[in-house]
Amino acid sequence: MAVYKTSEFRKGLKVQIDGEPYLMIEMNFVKPGKGNALYKCKLRNLLRNTVIDRTYKGGDSLEAADVEEIEVQFLYRQGDTFVFMDSKTFEQYELTADQVGDNWKYLKDGMICSMVLFNGNPITMTPPNHVVLKVEYCEPGAKGDTATNVTKPVKVETGAEFPAPIFINMGDLIKIDTRTGEYVERVKS
């Protein structure tokens, strides 16, 4: 098993603590006046999505997590289960609604996503950074209401609701940033 020394610590590193995979989301190097250098790390548990703070001394090390990132295609949702297929091996993976979290808002049939496997089992998925979704329902915008940054809720084809500008109509295609859940632009069909 690979091991990371403190000098290799950086944001985005996937490590294993007590047999569970963690993602290093923050790493700060601190050199006090006396003594060893300290590495203050914020780590997110990839299984439970909890965040812990740990401090390591110079020379400490962490085990690399046995995680693999693969490209998958979203096939369908069946109740609280989401089914994906590996684009290369055609192997199917299932994730629960808890594992998918709020990412269900962006999932369309056939969409290519990124999935993280831990010891060969799926633990999380990430949709593309931007998705184009069709507006299924929204209230009509008031004529002449052109004040800047006026938004209204729009319901899209996935069943999710997003705030969008007042000029968006039913049937429009809108681009959403999946990292923030914000409207980006109207897309010409």
pLDDT digit string, tens, across residues 96-119: 998 888 999 999 999 999 998 988
Given CA atoms 112, 97, 103, 134 in this order, what sign does their dihedral have? positive
Q: What are residue 151's phi and psi, to 5 degrees?
A: -120, 165
Is 3 in contact with 62 (CB distance < 8 Å)?
Answer: yes
pLDDT in tens, 32-89: 888 888 999 999 888 888 899 999 988 899 999 888 889 999 999 999 999 999 989 9
pTM score, whole prediction: 0.74
pLDDT at 129: 92
- Give the chain's domains with CATH numbers: 3-64 (2.30.30.30), 67-126 (2.40.50.140), 130-187 (2.40.50.140)
pLDDT in tens, 45-56: 888 888 999 999
Q: What is the pLDDT of residue 145?
A: 57
Confidence of residue 183 (pLDDT cuts 50, 70, 90): very high
Mean pLDDT of the chain: 89
For the chain, state the CA radius of gyration.
Answer: 21
pLDDT for 143 beyond 60: yes
